[in-house]
Structure 1
């Protein structure tokens, strides 16, 4: 994006290539999360049977409004 900019080149020389470092760190965290989210598969256990597909919007939902008379902490 800024590779042809002398200002960017000077900043990279002084501070390091922060966007590249950030991207690499984000990729590493993504790989770790993928590993953690599949704990049974990572230990060689058979994967659980797929559950039936839930309809969109099913599952946990936050209440739109607090109950009447509710006061925040």
Structure 2
């Protein structure tokens, strides 16, 4: 990107190639998300249960309850 820029070269020498590091990390996260977001297949073609089935959020705050 900035191959002919002495300022950029000096910054890379001092701090590392931050844009390249960010790009690699973003690609890694993107690959991980693809795996996680991929729909799971169950035997018999049934859909897996939706996340959160089987529990309910409490309507009160934790701690002692008033009488």
Q: TM-score range by the shorter chain?
A: 0.5 to 0.7
Tell me the C-alpha RMSD between the 2 structures.
Answer: 2.1
Which structure carries more helix by proportion? 2
Structure 2, unaligned stretches of length 5 or more? 47-67
Could you say which structure has the larger radius of gyration? 2
Higher relative contact order (CA 8 A, sep 6+): 2
Moved beyond 2 Å, runs of 4+: none
What is the aligned length?
Answer: 45
TM-score (norm 2): 0.58
Structure 1, unaligned stretches of length 5 or more? 50-73
Residue matched to 1:4 = 4
